[in-house]
Structure 1
Amino acid sequence: MTAPIVEFNEGFSEPGAGPVPWADVDDLLTKSEMFWLSTVRGDGRPHVTPLPTVWLDNILHFCAGDQEQKTKNLLGRPACVLTTGTNDLHSGVDVVVEGVAERITDHARLVELAALWKSKLDWDYVVGEDAFGDGAGRTGLVFGVRPRKVLSFGKNPYTQTRYRFA
């Protein structure tokens, strides 16, 4: 992925502030363990849930049980939003990732992702033919979200920056 187009929003930023550099956002996506996934149910109601993620090759990956509400939502309406950051008002950076969730079924990629989940989060997944298992008979579908747009909200100073991808 080429570097995103950076659009700093002065109207929602403190005077004299500048954009959060993409390298800092990329680092936050790499290091953050928990995100909030927002999806839409079949009847149009929102659904939000926390889950761990892995940022690899500019794609945000997560696993969801094959019977979970978020999985049902994504299989029907794959557009979603993932957010991470801090609950502090005066420090840190919050990030919003908008994109479309796609199932990851390539076995080699699943093996690579399972190793990252283990090293980053100490989670053990059994890699199946096209999904993860937990060793107890439950299946986890793996999804990847390639960002279409990312927003960052700096909080010291307050800033808003949009990163657009081709």
Structure 2
Amino acid sequence: MRPTTEQLDRRYSEEKSQAVPWAAAETRLTAAQIAWIVTVRPDGRPHATPMVPVVHNGKVYFHTGSTEMKYANLKANPHVLVLAGDTAWDSGLDVAVAGTAAPVTDDALLHRLAELYRERWDGRWQLNVRDGGLAAQVPGASPVMFEVTPDRAYGHDKGDPFGQTNYRY
């Protein structure tokens, strides 16, 4: 899924800034060893937690256990924010993706995502797919894969020059 527009937001950008192409933002997301996911608790308070993202066909994927807070939050409200970046002030690219998370149940897609997780961690991250879901590796745990479909994203280019690119879908 590619954004329909990429536009530099002049309100938050220096004069010589240029829009960052979505390909660069997607590369940043793909390279992130850890990203943060922000969900909304049923009472409206935010909840943020680190997760390991996989980017595939323009969407962001992550998995969580059915007993975890983010799972309960997503059942009540599927809107999420995925953040990838670092704490540097004057270099790098931070990316924020806002969208909707939904469970993945397609076996072929789950097998592909399990393969992408294995590749990303040199085979150390093993996910087993069974009957349209992820098989528990720990007794009592029920892992669930989620797909984030973006509706907007932001690229924050840090350094000389500073700039913000808005991506709309």
> Same fold by TM (over 0.5)?
yes
CA displacement at 1:77 relative to structure 2:
0.3
In 1, the alpha carbon distance for the partners of 2:117 and 2:164 equals: 30
Q: Residues 163 and 76 of structure 1: is their aligned pair in 2 closer, same or farther, counting only changes over 3 Å?
A: same
Instruction: Could you tell me which runs of 5 or more consecutive residues in structure 1 were left unpaired when the two chains were aligned.
Output: none
Show the counterpart of 1:152: 155
CA–CA distance in structure 2, aligned partners of residues 2 and 19 of structure 1: 15
Deviation of 1:33 (Å): 2.1
Q: What is the identity, as a one-letter code, of the residue corresponding to 1:159?
A: G
**Structure number with higher strand proportion:** 1
> In the aligned structure 2, how far is the partner of 1:120 from the partner of 1:4?
29
Aligned to 1:160, the other structure's residue is in SS state strand
Secondary structure of the residue aligned to 1:136 is: coil
Q: Does residue 127 of structure 1 match 2:114? A: no
Per-residue CA shift, 1:56-104, capped at 9, x if unaligned?
0111000010110000000110011010011111110100000000110
- Structure 2 match to 1:7: 7
* Structure 2: distance between partners of 1:3 and 1:82: 16
Letter in 1 for 2:166: R
CA contact (8 A) 2:12 2:163 kept: yes
Structure 1 stretch displaced more, 92-101 or 116-125? 116-125
TM-score normalised to structure 1 length:
0.94
- The whole-number CA distance in structure 2 between the counterparts of 1:130 and 1:74 is 19
Instruction: Give the Cα–Cα distance (whole angstroms) in 1 for the partners of residues 84 and 4 of structure 2.
Output: 19
Q: TM-score, structure 2 length as denominator? A: 0.93
Instruction: Indicate the percent of aligned positions where both proteins have the same amino acid.
Output: 33
Q: How does 1:2-81 map to 2 (within 5 A)?
A: 2-81=2-81
Would the aligned equivalents of 1:33 and 1:54 in 2 still touch at CA under 8 Å? no
1:142 aligned onto 2:138? no
Find runs of 4+ consecutive structure 1 residues off by over 4 angstroms: none
In structure 2, do the counterparts of structure 1 residues 2 and 60 end up closer, same or farther at CA, with 3 Å as the change threshold?
Answer: closer
For 2:3 and 2:44, locate their aligned partners in 1 and report how far apart those are by CA, in whole Å.
34
Extract unaligned runs of 5+ from structure 2: none
1:3 Cα deviation after fit: 4.5
